[in-house]
């Protein structure tokens, strides 16, 4: 989870497409990146085939600090400039062998996203939903479509994404079944 979530956040504004309508929406304008909050859970299961099955569940809950950057929204496109933030939190973990808890604890976790510039396409659906046709906005490392809810209150735009992805990671030389779930809330403030 330590690498997955911050890496996925690089995708926050990383793909491009086009909005269907040329109409100006209520979210169009220039925004400051205010914060990103996340509640995460990552489960990894390793079955060595004929032996023990190991499982680790890691959870975290954080809000970014040192938030910087701007997001220009218009024509169905979000253009981020200099977007960066820092995460400093504790992750909780529970380790199991054959579904029997063996260990539990917390570990410090810190990450700084260096400034990025990127473009993401979106489409507003109804009065409170947002759709990213090619992924991009917090799609946790996948290239598929994603979506969520948005709310505009005065000069504050809040977008909430609920993410759920499962995949097999073979990078260690054996299959690791991974299931990642997160709720991410991004807040922008109108300039």
pLDDT averaged over the chain?
85
Q: According to the model, what pLDDT value does residue 137 have?
A: 52
| pLDDT-derived band at 188, boundaries 50, 70, 90 | very high
Considering only 46-55, 91-100, 102-111, which range has the smallest mean pLDDT? 46-55
Q: Burial of 190 by CB count in 10 Å (0-12 exposed, 13-18 middle, 19+ buried)? A: middle
| pLDDT-derived band at 16, boundaries 50, 70, 90 | very low
| pLDDT-derived band at 163, boundaries 50, 70, 90 | confident
Instruction: List the beta bridge partners of residue 88.
Output: 110
Mean pLDDT of the region 138-159: 79
Q: Are 133 and 125 in contact (CB under 8 A)?
A: no
Q: According to the model, what pLDDT value does residue 132 have?
A: 86
Q: Is the pLDDT of residue 3 over 80?
A: no
Q: According to the model, what pLDDT value does residue 42 have?
A: 96
Q: According to the model, what pLDDT value does residue 51 have?
A: 85
Q: According to the model, what pLDDT value does residue 135 have?
A: 67
Mean pLDDT of the region 136-146: 56
Separation between Cα atoms, residue 42 and residue 29, nearest integer Å: 35
Instruction: List the beta bridge partners of residue 50.
Output: none
């Amino acid at each position: 989870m330590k690498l997955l979530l911050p890496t996925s956040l690089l995708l926050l504004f990383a793909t491009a497409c086009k909005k269907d309508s040329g109409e100006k929406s209520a979210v169009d304008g220039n925004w400051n990146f205010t914060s990103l909050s996340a509640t995460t859970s990552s489960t990894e299961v390793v079955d060595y085939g004929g032996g023990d099955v190991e499982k680790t569940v890691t959870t975290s809950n954080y809000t970014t600090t040192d938030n910087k950057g701007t997001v220009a929204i218009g024509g169905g496109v979000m253009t981020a400039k200099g977007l960066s933030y820092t995460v400093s939190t504790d992750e909780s973990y529970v380790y199991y062998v054959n579904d029997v808890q063996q260990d539990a604890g917390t570990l410090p976790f810190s990450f700084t996203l260096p400034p990025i510039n990127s473009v993401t396409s979106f489409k507003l659906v109804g009065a409170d939903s947002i759709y990213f046709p090619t992924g991009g906005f917090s799609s946790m490392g996948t290239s598929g479509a994603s979506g969520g809810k948005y709310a505009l209150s005065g000069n504050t735009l809040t977008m909430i994404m609920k993410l759920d992805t499962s995949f097999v990671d073979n990078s260690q030389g054996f299959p690791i079944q991974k299931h990642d779930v997160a709720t991410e809330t991004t807040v922008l403030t109108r300039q």
